[in-house]
Amino acid sequence: FYLDLIAKKTAGGLEVIGAPHRWVMSANWKTAADNFVGDSYHTLFAHRSMVELGMAPGDPNFASAPAEISLQNGHGVGVLGFPPTLADFPEYEGYPDEVVDQMATSYPSPVHKDLMRRSAFIHGTVFPNLSFINVTIAPDHMSPPTPFITFRVWHPLSHDRMEILSWFLVERDAPEWLRDASQASYVNNFGPGGVFEQDDAEAWKAITESVQGPFAGEGLLNYEMGMDLTPLTDWPGPGEALPSGYAEQNQRRFWGRWLEYMGQ
């Protein structure tokens, strides 16, 4: 259902452009999977420089609604929009009419089109280590926001090293200008040297290093954010949906599933 939101906007579906970016990072693979499964609230802090440049919204309610959705078996996804203070942000993640006009017939249901209309940011992890993001970000501080899609695999090499394989995808029948602008936004933001990617890499590396010290085995981490939220009863898609990005339900389900595999 949720992958259809990303992959079936147009009749032609998605096309992978070029070979995947591949690089090795000194971080545990689960830090990245955790980040993508539900950590939509980190933007204002981890990517503060992007907020100051105007490439990410400064509103604390950024990407906080309509829902973070936890699914069975450790999978999780977020379908998030911009807050009312950014009411002038375009619908459908800023996709042009050439794409939007196809959604009514290419999507499996009208629900998909309505969710995409309200969306500015879709992220998720297919347990254990396949993650994706469909988001609208400007390729630089002088350009307008442009939507792009990336799927990536966090391939573990050891407990503190992983290889990242990151694919850029675009609608097969998208206009040429969108294909070019979308690729520029992906490379500049989430490529190996992308500004958002570097912020995340620094955090993942620091987390991996800090948990190897003697204190790490004695401390407990708090994953209680959002436990007081009431799941949405009218959510049109599968899974249990919470009405805020300020929640760790998806992370709790992800780590719970991992612990099951570890025999705990």
Per-residue pLDDT of the chain (264 residues; tens, 9 = 90+): 999 999 999 999 999 999 999 999 999 999 999 999 998 777 777 777 777 777 666 676 766 678 999 999 999 999 988 766 666 778 899 999 999 999 999 999 999 999 999 888 899 999 999 999 999 988 888 888 899 999 999 999 999 999 999 999 999 999 999 999 999 999 999 999 998 898 899 999 999 999 888 888 788 889 999 999 999 999 999 999 999 888 999 999 999 999 999 986
pTM: 0.93
Per-residue model confidence (pLDDT) at position 162: 98
Per-residue model confidence (pLDDT) at position 90: 82
CA dihedral (160, 56, 190, 75) in degrees, to 10, reads: 60
Per-residue model confidence (pLDDT) at position 218: 83
Q: Given the structure tokens 């009208």, which residue do they identify?
A: 110
Q: What is the CA radius of gyration of the chain?
A: 18
**Partners of 116 in beta bridges:** none
Per-residue model confidence (pLDDT) at position 45: 74
* DSSP helix/strand/coil, 76: strand
Q: Is 173 exposed, middle or buried (0-12, 13-18, 19+ CB in 10 A)?
A: middle
Per-residue model confidence (pLDDT) at position 14: 98
Per-residue model confidence (pLDDT) at position 264: 67
Angle at 198 between CA 167 and CA 40, to 5 degrees: 75
Please, where are the H alpha helices in 70-159?
A: 97-106, 110-117
Q: Structural domain boundaries of the chain?
A: 2-261
* DSSP helix/strand/coil, 45: helix
Q: Which two tokens stand for residue 61?
A: 């309610």
Backbone angles phi, psi at 31, to 5 degrees: -65, -40
Provide the b/e sequence for 193-207 (b: ≥16 CB within 10 Å). Answer: ebbbbbbbbebbbeb
DSSP 8-class letter at 232: P
Per-residue model confidence (pLDDT) at position 86: 65
Per-residue model confidence (pLDDT) at position 144: 86
Per-residue model confidence (pLDDT) at position 84: 66
CATH code of domain 2-261 = 3.90.380.10
User: By the 8 A CB rule, do 165 and 190 touch?
Assistant: no
Which of 190, 176, 177, 75 lies closest to 135 in space, CA to CA?
A: 190
Per-residue model confidence (pLDDT) at position 85: 65
DSSP 8-class letter at 234: S
